[in-house]
Amino acid sequence: FVPNDIHIDCDNTSFGIITGPNMGGKSTYMRQAAHLVLMGQMGSFIPAKEATIGVVDKIFTRVGASDDLAAGQSTFMLEMVEVANILNNATERSLIILDEIGRGTSTYDGLSIAKAVSEYILSNIKARTLFATHYHELTTLAEEYPNVVNLSVSVKETGDTVVFLKKVLPGKADKSYGIHVAKLAGIPMQVINRANEILNELEVTQEPEQKNQVFQPNLFQEELPTFIQELKELNLDNMTPLEALSYLYKLKKEIS
């Protein structure tokens, strides 16, 4: 067992975003926090050298991943139901534990939902919260909200060897080490090697693609006003059906 300090208050560090590798200890750290609060509030001894625990009215958790075949609910639907329950019922005196949000849908949808949920908790509920995520983009919330703190689980990387130290430290992680975990699970090396190749290709091509996506709409937007202006100035009352049809063909030819 690796001991870790936990510090969450209502003012300066009320919202902790935890990033880091799979199997690094993120979930254990958050569940440990919930257990200690529950045990302390019921008057029990807790496994800590010392503790100051504020009273909470409720503990909300969104952990694990499963579906409900009998009810016809997918993993993502169940996840959203749990999140909805938290957002509708948590108060400023609650403790919220979020272990991944949005992983059951597309990357952009999941990231958008995760960030919107975080912003809602920060702006409306203002509850003490620990949120473990693989969306590293969420770490920028610390630049927008003074009470957000970034935490990460430490890793010792030597060549191709990765050791999870299970220690939670201030700061954000820069990798998830998912392929390394797949290797530990026994995935064939042919698959692991190919996954590394694909990862390297994605890292190289992602930035140019994003630039193109931003650049192309601007070109189109420059052409659009001229096209619309011509249509606005068109006097249909003074045109025969044949003239209108000819003008339509002319516009189509110019556009293509």
Q: CATH number of the domain at 104, please.
A: 3.40.50.300
Give the pLDDT confidence score for residue 215 in this predicted structure.
Answer: 41
Give a yes or no: residue 255 inside a domain. Answer: no
Give the pLDDT confidence score for residue 216 in this predicted structure.
Answer: 44
Give the pLDDT confidence score for residue 68 in this predicted structure.
Answer: 66
Tell me the pLDDT of the chain (256 aa) as tens digits. 889 999 998 888 999 999 998 888 999 999 999 999 999 999 999 999 999 999 999 999 999 777 666 666 788 888 999 999 999 999 999 999 999 998 878 888 999 999 999 999 999 999 999 999 999 999 999 999 999 999 999 988 887 788 889 999 999 987 778 888 898 889 999 999 999 999 888 878 765 555 444 444 444 444 445 666 677 777 766 766 667 777 777 777 776 6
Q: Which domain holds residue 37?
A: 15-66+74-197
Give a yes or no: residue 229 inside a domain. Answer: no
Q: Which residues, 6 or more positions from 178, have their beta carbon under 8 angstroms from its beta carbon?
A: 21, 22
Q: Which residues, 6 or more positions from 84, have their beta carbon under 8 angstroms from its beta carbon?
A: none
Give a yes or no: residue 231 inside a domain. Answer: no
H/E element holding 96?
A: strand 95-99
Give a yes or no: residue 3 inside a domain. Answer: no
Give a yes or no: residue 207 inside a domain. Answer: no
Provide the number of structural domains found in the chain: 1
The whole-model pTM stands at 0.76
